[in-house]
Structure 1
Amino acid sequence: MNSKVYYKIGILFAVTLVCAAQLQAAPKFSYSYLDEAVKEFESKNSVSSVVLMEMDSGKVEYIYRPEIAVSKKLPPGSLVKTFSTLTLLKYKDRLGFSPEKKVLCKGRFYPKESFTPTKSDLNTLHLPRDENGKEYLRCSLTKGHGEMDLRSALVQSCNVYFLTSASSDPELFYSKLYEDWSLGKSTRSRLDPYLEPSDTNFTSISSLRKVAASIGEGGLQVSPLKISQLYSSIWKEGPRLSPYWGAGQEPVRSEENPYSGKDLRWITSVLSEVPKSGTLKDLNVPEKGSIGILGGKTGTGTKFMHKYETHGWTVLSFRKDRKSYVLTVFVDKGSGGNQAKSLASILLDKIDSKSKDSGIKSGK
């Protein structure tokens, strides 16, 4: 047996030990029965990851593929529109923004002449050309949404609205979005042995990519765990908590929430409309089940440096047994409105069915 074979065996043994250590370190979740449902979904779709977090504590009640959920940063797509909305509201005077002012969406956003795409932009963004050879960014509806104000733009996930609003002052908008939402920082989680990506500093990117950040594009990347943490702080109108899963651990504040209660209450009201009339309107949840949906958002993120491939996301808030949760679903190949939404529906149905079975067994 030559040295190369010994080397490969050594690497395989080392990887096996690491995987075994990680499996032993992860707790036994009461929602582990969801594993089979995710595996079945993956067999027909692509690699996926799931985070179920209890909002009031930051405790991770279930996680599927933590090596993705905790340790990878990925393009979040339209999930960022919720963050963009709160940024626009907080800095509306400096940005010259009005939530009531309507923007006409015809399906295309044409960058200003001062935002001429750089070589990096062309490699990162999908910028088709029109019949006159002019580059533009697409909306989620090819023919457009028509006239949109802030509320309708978030519910219907209108790209043109957010791109137009952010383009008034790309530097200010992007800096506040990046800083207020700590997009370069980890969640400060306590999910040993999984490590989060290192913090990154504010990076210098083109004006066009700063505008595109308003819809979660342009190279912006966050982990599913980070999405769970940020959305939890929105729905519970409280601080950002350090995610944990160990028995006996207590909630720990990671950061304060920089947004006012008034704006947070408004945004949760808007997100509650998404499952009713927005991009999650076909979400299959039993009306008289044990789960009460509070709101949600979908996202389709363009893979970094692979501008013709997308990731799918869905984030949902729901109540069950007097507790509130955030469910974050990531699908490697797909869209938020299709594959990710489908997996979220499957998981909610499993949770609801399990709860009913438990109730029958206990005689409730």
Structure 2
Amino acid sequence: MNSKIHYKIGILSATLLLYVAGAEAAPKFSYSYLDEAVKEFESKNSTSSVVLMEIDSGKVEYIYRPEIAVSKKLPPGSLVKTFSALTLLKFKDRLGFSPEKKVVCKGRFYPNESITPTKSDLNTLHLPQDENGKEYLRCSLAKGHGEMDLRSALVQSCNVYFLTNASSDPELFYSKLYEDWSLGKSTRSRLDSYREPSDTNFISISPLRKVAASIGEGGILLSPLKISQLYSSIWKEGPRLSPYWGAGQEPVRSEENPYAGKDLRWIASVLSEVPKSGTLKDLNIPEKGSLEILGGKTGTGTKFMHKYETHGWTVLSFRKDRKSYVLTVFVDNGSGGNQAKSLASILLDKIDPKNKDSAIKSGK
């Protein structure tokens, strides 16, 4: 057997050992019974990953496929719009932004001359051409959302709104989005023996990709664990905590939250409308019981360098037994409004089984 074959076998063996060791390192969660529901969903859809984290402590109460949730970075799509909204609010004076000012969405965003697509953009982004051969970015609704302010744009997940506002100053917007949300950094988790990807820096990208970052496109990659950490800091209105799962460990600050409490509370109130009238309005939520939905967001991320394939995401906050949680759902081949939302609904039903036969929640 030649040396190359020996080398490949050695790599495969090491990878398998790491995988097995990692699987054994994950604790037995009280929510481990959810595994069967996710496996059944995967048999009819595609590979998925789930993180259930307690907001106030950063403790991971359940994780499915930690080799994805902890160790992989993926395009988050519209989940980033929440971060973009807070960035626009914080730097509204420098960006000339007003949350009340409306943008008319007709389903298409046309890049202006200062952000003309490069060859790299054409290979990376899905940029269809209109009848005149001009490239544009699509909105989530082909015919558009009409007039959108910040609140309605976040609830209805309007691409055109965020792209328009980010394009006012791509350099400033992207630098603040990237820095304030630590998009290139890990969560500094304590989830032995899983390793997070190394810190990265994607500052040197085209102006159009910096604008596309406002809707989670253009090369932004985040792990399901990172999404859980960042959204927890929004609903908690506090610092970002280092995720952990070991018994006897205590909460540890990973970094401070750079956003004002009033802005965080406002955004949380907007996210609370998403399950009522936004992209999660068809989520089946029981009307009575121990589980109360606080808010959520969906995302459909374009696979990096595979512009016709998408990932599905849903992130939800809920309260149960006086504790608040963030549930992050990732589906490899799917959309946030369909597959990921469906899996989230299945898991909520399993988490609060007493409400299985209750009516669809229409209020809280």
| TM-score normalized with structure 2 length | 0.95
Aligned ranges 1:173-252 → 2 under 5 Å: 173-252=173-252
3-state secondary structure, aligned to 2:299: strand
The amino acid of 2:98's aligned partner reads S
3-state secondary structure, aligned to 1:341: helix
- Report how far residue 18 of structure 1 moved: 2.4
Tell me: CA distance 1:322–1:123, structure 2 relative to 1, closer, same or farther (3 Å).
same
- Report how far residue 30 of structure 1 moved: 0.4
- Partners of 2:332 and 2:219 lie apart in 1 by 16
Tell me: CA distance 1:12–1:213, structure 2 relative to 1, closer, same or farther (3 Å).
closer
The amino acid of 2:242's aligned partner reads S
Aligned counterpart, 2:66: 66
Aligned counterpart, 2:329: 329
- Partners of 1:201 and 1:6 lie apart in 2 by 35
Aligned ranges 1:218-297 → 2 under 5 Å: 218-297=218-297
- 4+ residue segments displaced more than 2 Å: 1-20
Aligned counterpart, 1:80: 80
Tell me: CA distance 1:32–1:84, structure 2 relative to 1, closer, same or farther (3 Å).
same
Aligned counterpart, 1:156: 156
Q: Is the 8 A contact 2:175 2:203 kept in 1?
A: no
3-state secondary structure, aligned to 2:309: strand
The amino acid of 1:196's aligned partner reads E
Aligned counterpart, 2:36: 36
Structure 2 residue runs without a partner (length 5+): 357-364
- Report how far residue 22 of structure 1 moved: 1.3
Q: Is the 8 A contact 2:189 2:244 kept in 1?
A: yes
Tell me: CA distance 1:7–1:169, structure 2 relative to 1, closer, same or farther (3 Å).
closer
| Greater displacement, 202-211 / 14-23 | 14-23
Aligned counterpart, 2:346: 346
Tell me: CA distance 1:89–1:11, structure 2 relative to 1, closer, same or farther (3 Å).
closer
C-alpha deviations, 1:127-146, integer Å up to 9, x for none?
00000101000000000000
- Report how far residue 149 of structure 1 moved: 0.4
Aligned counterpart, 2:360: none
3-state secondary structure, aligned to 2:308: strand
Tell me: CA distance 1:355–1:249, structure 2 relative to 1, closer, same or farther (3 Å).
farther
- Partners of 2:100 and 2:269 lie apart in 1 by 16
- Partners of 2:181 and 2:303 lie apart in 1 by 21
The amino acid of 2:97's aligned partner reads F
Aligned counterpart, 1:110: 110
- Partners of 2:200 and 2:60 lie apart in 1 by 24
State whether structure 2 residue 133 is matched by structure 1 residue 137: no
- Partners of 2:5 and 2:78 lie apart in 1 by 47
- Partners of 1:304 and 1:181 lie apart in 2 by 20
Q: Is the 8 A contact 2:286 2:355 kept in 1?
A: no
- Partners of 2:115 and 2:7 lie apart in 1 by 51
- Partners of 1:3 and 1:158 lie apart in 2 by 54
Aligned counterpart, 2:49: 49
- Partners of 1:175 and 1:3 lie apart in 2 by 47
Aligned length: 356
- Partners of 1:3 and 1:220 lie apart in 2 by 38
State whether structure 2 residue 37 is matched by structure 1 residue 23: no
The amino acid of 2:146's aligned partner reads G
Q: RMSD value over aligned CA atoms?
A: 1.6
C-alpha deviations, 1:272-307, integer Å up to 9, x for none?
000000000000111102210000000000000000
Aligned counterpart, 1:100: 100
- Report how far residue 70 of structure 1 moved: 0.5
- Report how far residue 19 of structure 1 moved: 2.7
Structure 1 residue runs without a partner (length 5+): 357-364
Aligned counterpart, 1:361: none
- Partners of 1:122 and 1:87 lie apart in 2 by 27
